[in-house]
A and B are shown apart, each in its own frame.
With several copies, the nearest count.
Chain A
Amino acid sequence: LAAGAPVSAHWVADRQSGPLLLRFGTEEQRQRFLPRISRGELAFAIGMSEPDSGSDLASIRTRAEKVSGGYKVNGTKIWTSNAHLSEYAIALFRTKVVPDKKHEGLSQFLVDLKSPGISIRPIIDLAGGHHFNEVHFQDCLVPDDMLVGKDGEGWKQVTTELGFERSGPERYLSSLQLVIELIREAGKEPGERAAALIGHFTAHLVTLRQMSLSIATMLQAGQNPNLEAAVVKDVGTTFEQEIPEAVHALTGAEPRIGSGTEFEKTLGYLVQHAPSFSLRGGTREVLRGIIARGLGLR
């Protein structure tokens, strides 16, 4: 995390591709992609959401129809992060329609974004940034060797991915820069009011970091801490979204773009991006639903 610069927005950062391929990829896929991923040369766009899916990620309508040598893809993905900057995407398509069982018949693919039949349209966010895209597939052929894992097991694979997505440190890092700027602003000998807020933030950050580490430990031990990861994500997102509000309440600083101090600009960046924090990896309602299920309430 480069100090002094607002962190860049990654809704669905590409921390998934490596673990995914390690876990579900063919030997050939690993050899082809992992070295470039680990050198940081290759990033993947992530294509999960569709225009009408919202939080209901399994309601996927983009079809991948089995044809000779591969799959013929038709449909539209939205919120595809960095598709305009990436060579490949990891995408979830419907390979089989199973009536009333939307979680079945989905499969994961690696997609070469330069393939014929793909068109990419930018989505500009409210702050004027371009991180996301709508990706349209028309009779796009994806070769057989780009299927990841098993045909029809896509949902199971994806929920594992979401586990990673939900526990990662970007859960609390996006707003860390504002806390740092606040400390700088408050100076070495802050008043009681500023000190109390800095202490509050620190207590939460330290605890979130420990919670993330414990999920990582569980993952490394081969466990599948989906519930725990959802808890960490919910706690982290809720905290993160409180940060700009609490900082404003303390300082009354104006959130700025373009001009102003680093503090004001970081506040401006985060105020505008905070609404997106709870969208990455599932909305707050969906996450809390997962937790409630884990508690036995549903």
Chain B
Amino acid sequence: MNELRTILTETCTRLFTDHVTTAVLEAAEKGEWPAALWQALEENGLTLPQVPEARGGAGGSWNDAFVVLMAAGRFAAPVPLAETMLAGSILAEAGLDAPLGPMTVAPAHIDEGLSLARQGSGWTLSGRATRVPWGARAEHVVVVADAGGSPMIALVAGGHAKAEADGSLAREPRDTLVWSGAPVVAAAPLRGRLGPRPVWAGGALVRSAQMAGGLEFLLAQSVKYVTERKQFGRPLAAFQAIQQNLALLAGHTAAAGMAAQQAFHVVERTGEGGDATFEIAVAKVRTGEAAGLGAGIAHQAHGAIGFTYEHSLHFVTRRLWSWRAEFGAESHWSVALGREVAARGAEALWPHMVSR
């Protein structure tokens, strides 16, 4: 990690430490919008770090986006930061400008479809999308939709959809949005480095970074807890069984961080027409597995106290359990990855790995 990235990490850490308190997290679960947090993120240019300046972003790289999302995951930041970043990128890649304010993406399910229809010189959007992250709260929604057989990217303002509130295990909004001829702000043919399914692949990408960050929290929090807490007359950290488990957690955390980082790195390196699906699949599978195992280890280390609402562990573990399922769980991406590898043939496995 170079120096600039270290500075960025520190900025994020400071910002989230100030703005993502237990009170903010609890309030967010009750539906309160953390306005100060969002404002601080925008003021620091952290909502669209990798979007070109010309398109409304901070002009950084996907590697910067990774750093910001890791930090957001570490703090369980209850805002659609990942979704906004992704939405902004999908717009920019299609040659459209990204607006300010929280955004989200739709459809979040691979088997749902939306459609665009011509209206004068513009377009209108119709269709139904379920489990849209922060769907009712986002000021803009970026969608992939079918326009007479061609996939397009479209930007619609919030409030034009009929919204049914729904939520994730972490009580983050996951709303159903229904558009019926809603006006489209801007539209362009789908293109860009996130490939033919930018919401699906990009969603998996951003979730992998959030999960890697969440795991870092679990590790730090578990180490802290077992060092402070005593049992049978000595700190929990003195028990070899605890040490061995946390070492295992450290391994999963390191692996998840590496897998996610590499995916962002390849997305950055890959220009338009390139394809980072291989690395994205690797990242979603590896971070998702680590999230499940890591949450188990962290809860085991914390014992009963981690099972209380009062303790902050669950703000992260409940998110991890949701994130790993969203935009394709391990089962989806591992089958896709396995089929890709098999189609390439046994002898190609290692050469392909080395060539990436």
Contact = CB atoms under 8 A, between A and B. Distances in A.
- Quick check: do A and B touch in the complex, using CB within 8 A? yes
Interface of A: 1, 3, 49, 52-56, 59, 78-79, 123-126, 128, 176, 179-181, 183-184, 186-190, 192, 194-200, 202-211, 214, 228, 231-232, 234-235, 238, 241, 245, 248-259, 268, 271-272, 274-276, 278-279, 283-285, 287-289, 291-292, 294-298
6 contacts: A126-B318, A200-B338, A205-B353, A254-B329, A255-B169, A255-B322
Given A202-B337, A241-B296, A297-B242, A259 B166 contact: yes
A79 B308 CA distance: 10
A277 to B, nearest CB: 10
A interface: dominant SS = helix
Given A180-B346, A200-B330, A256 B227 contact: no
Contacts of A180: 346-347, 349-350
Contacts of B335: 192, 195-196, 199
Contacts of A184: 346
A204 B285 CA distance: 9
B282 interface: yes
Given A52-B230, A271-B321, A195 B286 contact: no
Contact of B250 (A54, A56, A187, A231): A231
A231 B254 contact: yes
A285 B242 contact: yes
A199 B247 contact: no
Contacts of A287: 247
Nearest to A49: B304
B180 interface: no
B interface: dominant SS = helix
Nearest to B261: A210
A86 B318 CA distance: 30
Contact of A203 (B229, B334, B339): B334
B107 interface: no
B296 A245 contact: yes
B71 interface: no
Given A125-B307, A194-B338, A207-B259, A255 B321 contact: yes
Contacts of A276: 304, 307
Contact of A188 (B336, B345, B350): B345
B307 A211 contact: no
B24 interface: no
B255 A235 contact: yes
